[in-house]
Amino acid sequence: MDDMLSNPADGTRLRILAWLAEPDPAGRGLTADDIAARLGVPHPVALTHLRLLTALGLLHPTGQDDGLHYRRDEMRLAEVTQLFEKGW
């Protein structure tokens, strides 16, 4: 899982998780378009990152397919953090 979070080397997925921890996004979530705009990448690239983070259980999408909002799954993030702290 460490490779999935840290690759690409620029830390894109970690930045997405950090943005979703900010007060406003934490409440309403962010869409793939929001993430694409913040990253300066095409929508499909942002969606790939969001889908991977969702598959890992770190994000929880809500809404309709055309307007999914992604939020952090704080319980799962705590579990993963604890695994890394134990020296996974």
Q: Tens of pLDDT along 28-87?
A: 889 999 999 999 999 999 999 999 999 999 999 998 766 899 999 999 989 888 887 877
pLDDT of residue 9: 47
pLDDT confidence band for 88 (50 / 70 / 90)? low
CA-based nearest residue to 13, from 47, 42, 50: 50
Cα distances (angstroms) measured from residue 42 to each of 23, 46, 48, 80: 25, 7, 10, 29
Mean pLDDT calculated for residue range 1-20:
71
Q: Which amino acid is at 24?
A: D
Residues 83 and 71: their CA atoms lie apart, in Å, by 21
pTM above 0.85, yes or no: no
Question: Exposure of 13 by Cβ count < 10 A (0-12 exposed, 13-18 middle, 19+ buried)?
Answer: buried
